[in-house]
Amino acid sequence: MSDLIDDPEPGVNAPEFSVSEISGVVKRMIEGEFSHVRIRGEVGRVSRPASGHLYLDLKDDRAVLASVIWKGVASRLITRPEEGMEVVATGRLTTFPGQSRYQMVIENIAPAGVGALMAMLEKRKKALAAEGLFDPARKQPIPYLPEVIGVITSPSGAVIRDILHRLHDRFPRKVLIWPVAVQGAKCAPEVTAAIAGFNNLHPGGVIPRPDLLIVARGGGSIEDLWGFNEESVVRAAAASAIPLISAVGHETDTTLIDYASDIRAPTPTAAAELSVPVLTDLLAHLAKLDERRARALSGILQTRRQRVRDLARALPRPADIVAAQSQRLDHLSARLPGALKAMAQGKRVSLANVSAGLRPGMMRQMLDQKTQHLKSLSNSFSTAARTGIARQRVRLDGLERLRLTLGYKQTLRRGYAVIRDENQSVITKLGAGQKAVSLEIEFQDGRLALVQAGGGTPVSGPKRTKPAKKYKGGDQGSLF
């Protein structure tokens, strides 16, 4: 009987799962078993999308683990993971069902020892140096005596007290303190903002703009000083228009801001010493300079006095210079009275000679002579005028006779006439006379106006010309 019944296929009674169900089971198992893990590895591909999340790979020589750091955790990280950096990541494992893969959600990440930090530091240093941020040509000279000094440090540490104390001992100056965190996640952004803030102050404003900046912090481990190795801090220091002194850590500590600053101080106290000179030394130096000035001035005056004395020996005595001129003045003074008398006598004689011709008798004789001469000139002028007028009258009579001889009036007396049309144009041809509307005939004793149409009546009676006026000087007619 049992041989007649076939055995069912193995696994036919096993439960069936959907894809989502099996993914959920795997997710719960992985998250339950690996809810808190610490993984050491090298950072591979790093992606920073606009969402703010951070995606990266943790790898070793045989495997790769996809990892994610959510936005809130990424903003609080002290050290940003970079490709090639060896780190220790703390978090939990989970799955991503959409791609059937597992990944690590990182809650904290730190370099795996000092070696990893130093390797990352060296890599960043080379990249920034290649951009020219550490170029010595970019560095500015430190002012010799700044009026205002800006200090970027923690307000509660011993660093600020050491700086203020040292400045007070050497040369008191105005100090502006910009409080910042000097380690931890807030260090880099606050130091960057402080450098930019001091540079944005306007000269002459309510808050004075510093002439010098000091970025200071006490000593510590490389992790404590890491904020001063951040790229944003280095770029802010290199871009500062105000000269900047970096005083981070002790003399053996070196950070990237030291390379970008204008000068590095081994300690914060040394930064204060580099900022200002010693007042007492400066006063002593000024006193020495004043003493040298007095000695130099005294030496110059002594040299000039000796030079004047040497030159004075070659000069003649003033009495000798004026003696000859004084003698000449005495000689001229003695001759002056006689010369004045002689000159006055000569002027009297000249005046007498001139005034002799100014006596009344001489004046009347001269007046009579001038009167006779004037009369002679007047008679000569009258005779010349009458002769000229007679000559011009004869010439004028001749011209008048010539005018009458050449004029057409003499022709009219010989029986000729002049015919004119209505326009007073002279007609010399028959055709022109036939075309004229009216005619005017001038005879010896007058003019006759005629109408051309069929021998009509005259338009006006004959016009008789007035006889020419006779010239008053004779029978010759006038030209006018």
User: What confidence tens digit (pLDDT) does each residue in 321-354 have?
Assistant: 787 888 888 888 888 888 898 999 988 888 878 7
For 281-325, what is each residue's pLDDT tens digit? 888 889 999 999 999 999 999 999 999 988 888 887 777 778 788
Task: Compute the CA torsion angle 109, 114, 116, 118 (nearest 10 deg).
Answer: 130
pLDDT above 70: percentage of residues in the chain: 90
Average pLDDT score over the chain: 83
For 101-136, what is each residue's pLDDT tens digit? 888 999 888 777 666 677 778 888 898 999 999 999
Average pLDDT of span 39-63: 87
Q: What is the pTM of this model?
A: 0.48
CB 128 within 8 A of CB 134: yes
pLDDT above 90: percentage of residues in the chain: 30
Average pLDDT of span 15-23: 81
Q: Predicted confidence band at 465 (pLDDT cuts at 50, 70, 90)?
A: very low
Overall residue count recorded for the chain in this entry? 480
Average pLDDT of span 448-473: 52
**Ramachandran category for residue 454: left, alpha or beta (phi over 0 → left; psi -120 to 50 → alpha):** left
Residue 356 predicted with pLDDT over 50: yes
Residue-level pLDDT at 330? 84
Residue-level pLDDT at 8? 53
Report phi then psi at 90, rounded to 5: -120, 135
Hey, what are 63's tokens?
């495997």
Q: Predicted confidence band at 473 (pLDDT cuts at 50, 70, 90)?
A: very low
Residues 6+ apart with CB under 8 A from 231: 124, 128
Task: Single out the residue of 27, 42, 20, 23 nearest to residue 93, CA to CA.
Answer: 27
Average pLDDT of span 12-17: 74
Residues 6+ apart with CB under 8 A from 347: none
For 132-183, what is each residue's pLDDT tens digit? 999 999 999 999 999 999 999 999 888 999 999 999 999 999 999 999 999 8
| Ordered DSSP codes for 426-457 | BP-SHHHHHH-SEEEEE-SS-EEEEETTTT--
Average pLDDT of span 211-224: 88
Q: Predicted confidence band at 260 (pLDDT cuts at 50, 70, 90)?
A: very high
Residue-level pLDDT at 115? 65
Q: Predicted confidence band at 477 (pLDDT cuts at 50, 70, 90)?
A: very low
Residue 12 predicted with pLDDT over 70: no
Residue given tokens 């008191």 in the structure block: 172
3-state DSSP call for residue 283?
helix
Residue 443 predicted with pLDDT over 50: yes
CB 421 within 8 A of CB 432: yes
For 444, half-sphere exposure in the C-beta direction (CA atoms, 13 angstrom radius) is 7
Q: Predicted confidence band at 476 (pLDDT cuts at 50, 70, 90)?
A: very low
Task: Single out the residue of 89, 130, 95 nearest to residue 108, CA to CA.
Answer: 89
